[in-house]
């Protein structure tokens, strides 16, 4: 079951850690410790060989209090019930912290997308959508991309759902291509949001980004855009890691060239000129000002936290840092930008996409970016002031604000029946 998962335990420990500070009715906290609704489905897929493979799919809705469930759909061989349930809980705090009218949800399909053909991925995505159809809807639960999924998977979900309802329903899913009623700026939104948070953190810490050194773990949608945006601001990208390994490049790497290389190299950065192979420990020990974990959860444990030399840790991934590591980062005076604010740019622009699809009225790229900046910078400043006023870490402050808002709504609505 999900309760045994170490990642779910981490998410629960975070929730419990704010108990004595947040002044929330323990009866409400008790309700928040469990996902509201969890669906596990078998997804039989006809493979190209003619054989049938059955994948396991999950959709977990942690809270539907503030509005439809909102959160990504992940394709990865690591996906399990506990991981999805933990991620759904984090989505609740994230949406609440940045004041979006959504609850938190997450989905996953246990598969290795790198080994699936386009046809297999399409059949898996459509069948998964069909299996969870009674539990999703534009006012019920709205999916989006996450690790291993992107615009194409969202297009298939949109189409499958629309075939079922009998009319086009783009607001069933966000993260679609702009040509298919997606929004401009969604693909870049999470990475850009990370960088707006880093700018705010650097301002509070009294330094500017130009000339600083950065390491980025993960070179997918979040890590690559963050690296590009930081490079544009004059930062040197001195370390990059992805599934093919961890690499240092003391002279700094050009992320645009690296991205082009990876696109022609099976989405792997390994082999790019100037990258020196390093262990994970060497990578995180690099002399740098900013570290961006943008790969997956539970990457920074006590040992890695002890090695880090950065001034700012910007959590592009969800749940990258253990509770024990958090304490070490605090002691070392590292400015942590917690996940639920740092990577909220993605779901913020997903909200914009949902709003545009409902209204069938579309915004310019400038409008999207300026509203993203408004929301994420305001939320960052709110968290930072709350932390400073109370002597809390950024993590504790963000969690208290996120959980408290959800708890307030639950308390005001009461317990049914």
Residue with smaller CB distance to ligand GLU, 79 or 144: 144
Residue with smaller CB distance to ligand GLU, 343 or 384: 343
Residues 32-51 that bind ligand GLU (CB under 6 A): none
Does residue number 127 form part of the binding site for ligand GLU (CB under 6 A)? no
- Applying CB under 6 A, among 64, 66, 86, 144 the residue interacting with ligand GLU is 144
Nearest-angstrom CA–CA distance, 186 and 27? 37
Residue in 90, 343, 365 with CA at minimum distance from that of residue 225 = 343
**Between β-strands 69-76 and 141-145, what pairing exists: parallel, antiparallel or unpaired?**
parallel
Indicate the DSSP class of residue 137: B
Does residue number 368 form part of the binding site for ligand GLU (CB under 6 A)? no
- Rounded to a whole number of angstroms, the minimum distance from the CB of residue 205 to ligand GLU is 25
224 in Cβ contact with 237 (< 8 Å): no
Does residue number 76 form part of the binding site for ligand GLU (CB under 6 A)? no
| Token code pair at residue 412 | 């005001």
Does residue number 70 form part of the binding site for ligand GLU (CB under 6 A)? yes
- Applying CB under 6 A, among 68, 320, 346, 402 the residue interacting with ligand GLU is 346
Sign of the CA dihedral running 372, 373, 378, 383? positive
Residue with smaller CB distance to ligand GLU, 55 or 351: 351
Residue with smaller CB distance to ligand GLU, 255 or 346: 346
Q: Which residue is nearest to ligand GLU (CB)?
A: 72
Nearest-angstrom CA–CA distance, 402 and 333? 23
- Rounded to a whole number of angstroms, the minimum distance from the CB of residue 146 to ligand GLU is 4
Residues 89-118 that bind ligand GLU (CB under 6 A): none
- Rounded to a whole number of angstroms, the minimum distance from the CB of residue 332 to ligand GLU is 27
From 229-237, 289-297, 344-352, 393-401, span contacting ligand GLU (CB under 6 A): 344-352
| Token code pair at residue 110 | 């246990």
- Applying CB under 6 A, among 347, 383, 399, 403 the residue interacting with ligand GLU is 347
- The H or E element that residue 258 is part of is helix 255-263
Does residue number 71 form part of the binding site for ligand GLU (CB under 6 A)? yes
Does residue number 174 form part of the binding site for ligand GLU (CB under 6 A)? yes
Residue with smaller CB distance to ligand GLU, 258 or 317: 317
Beta strands in 294-412 (DSSP E): 312-314, 335-337
**Contacts of 134-139 spanning 24+ positions with Cβ under 8 A:** 135/37, 135/39, 135/59, 135/61, 136/59, 136/161, 136/172, 137/68, 137/172, 138/68, 138/169, 138/171, 138/172, 138/354, 138/358, 139/67, 139/68
Task: Report, as residue numbers or ranges, the catalytic residues.
Answer: 106
Does residue number 67 form part of the binding site for ligand GLU (CB under 6 A)? no
CB-count exposure of residue 366 (10 Å: 0-12, 13-18, 19+): exposed
- Rounded to a whole number of angstroms, the minimum distance from the CB of residue 2 to ligand GLU is 18
Residue with smaller CB distance to ligand GLU, 190 or 246: 190
**Contacts of 161-169 spanning 24+ positions with Cβ under 8 A:** 161/129, 161/133, 161/136, 164/130, 164/133, 169/138
314 in Cβ contact with 338 (< 8 Å): no
- In 3-state terms the chain splits into helix, strand, coil percentages (rounded to 5) of 50, 20, 30
CB atoms within 10 A of CB 210: 9
Q: x/- contact string, 300-319, with ligand GLU (CB under 6 A)?
A: ------------------x-
Look at the block and give the residue holding tokens 């980062």: 329
From 19-27, 56-64, 210-218, 339-347, span contacting ligand GLU (CB under 6 A): 339-347
- Applying CB under 6 A, among 212, 244, 285, 350 the residue interacting with ligand GLU is 350
Residue with smaller CB distance to ligand GLU, 182 or 255: 182
From 3-11, 254-262, 342-350, 405-413, span contacting ligand GLU (CB under 6 A): 342-350
Nearest-angstrom CA–CA distance, 209 and 197? 12
**Count of residues in contact with ligand GLU, rule CB under 6 A:** 11
Chain positions contacting ligand GLU, by CB under 6 A: 70-72, 144, 146, 174, 318, 343, 346-347, 350
């Amino acid at each position: 079951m999900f309760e045994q998962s170490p990642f779910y335990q981490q998410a629960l420990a975070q929730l419990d850690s704010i108990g004595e500070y947040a002044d929330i009715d323990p009866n409400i906290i008790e309700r928040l410790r469990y996902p509201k609704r969890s669906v596990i489905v078998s997804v039989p897929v006809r493979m190209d060989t003619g054989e049938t493979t059955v994948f396991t799919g999950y959709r977990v809705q942690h809270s539907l209090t503030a509005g439809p469930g909102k959160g990504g759909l992940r394709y990865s061989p690591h996906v399990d019930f506990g991981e999805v349930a933990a991620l759904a809980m984090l989505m609740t705090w994230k949406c609440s912290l940045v004041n979006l009218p959504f609850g938190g949800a997450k989905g996953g399909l246990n598969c290795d997308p790198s080994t699936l053909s386009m046809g297999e991925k399409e059949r898996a995505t459509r069948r998964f959508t069909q299996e969870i159809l009674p539990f999703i809807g534009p006012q019920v639960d709205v999916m989006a991309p996450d690790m291993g999924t992107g615009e194409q998977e969202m297009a298939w979900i949109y189409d499958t759902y629309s075939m079922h309802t009998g009319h086009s329903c783009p607001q069933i899913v966000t993260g679609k291509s702009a040509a298919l009623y997606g929004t401009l700026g969604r693909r870049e939104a999470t990475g850009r949001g990370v960088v707006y948070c880093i700018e705010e953190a650097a301002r509070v810490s009294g330094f500017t980004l130009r000339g600083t050194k950065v390491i980025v773990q993960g070179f997918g949608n979040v890590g690559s855009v963050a690296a590009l945006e930081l490079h544009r601001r004059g930062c040197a990208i001195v370390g990059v890691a992805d599934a093919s390994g961890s690499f240092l490049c003391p002279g700094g790497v050009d992320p645009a060239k690296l991205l082009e290389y990876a696109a022609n190299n099976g989405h792997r950065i390994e082999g790019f000129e100037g990258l020196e192979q390093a262990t994970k420990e060497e990578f995180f020990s690099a002399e740098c000002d900013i570290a961006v974990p943008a790969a997956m959860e539970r990457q920074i444990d006590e040992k890695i936290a002890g090695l880090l030399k950065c001034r700012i840790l910007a959590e592009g991934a969800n749940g990258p840092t253990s509770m024990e590591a958090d304490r070490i980062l605090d002691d070392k005076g590292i400015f942590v930008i917690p996940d639920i604010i740092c990577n909220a740019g993605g779901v913020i622009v997903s909200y914009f996409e949902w709003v545009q699809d409902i209204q069938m009225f579309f915004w310019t790229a400038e409008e999207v970016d300026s509203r993203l900046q408004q929301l994420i910078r305001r939320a960052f400043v709110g968290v930072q002031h709350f932390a400073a006023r109370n002597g809390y870490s950024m993590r504790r402050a963000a969690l208290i604000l996120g959980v408290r808002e959800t708890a307030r709504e639950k308390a005001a609505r009461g317990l049914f029946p």
